[in-house]
Amino acid sequence: MTLTIENVKEEFVPTFKTLAKSLHAKCRVEKQKTTKFEKKLLKMKKELEAEKSKGTAIIFESHQDFKKAIEDGKI
């Protein structure tokens, strides 16, 4: 018999492995591959966090403030 469990948080993997071992069953873990889009988003997030920590990130309180900055040519 095969049992498939999908979308499991990483923290639960050791528990499932232990369960499989106690049942003398095989446990195979497959991680989803990160797409190019996801990699790009993660890279952008890392860059933004770095800018925030340096204090160089431009942060707006509202959409109107963002829109005004665009209209004024600040960004």
The type of residue at 33 is: K
Contact (CB, 8 A) for 60 and 66: yes
CA distance 45 to 66: 19
pTM: 0.47
Exposure of 11 by Cβ count < 10 A (0-12 exposed, 13-18 middle, 19+ buried)?
Answer: exposed
Span 1-54, pLDDT tens digits = 888 988 899 999 999 999 999 999 999 999 888 899 999 999 999 999 999 999
Apex CA 45: angle with CA 44 and CA 46, to 5°?
90
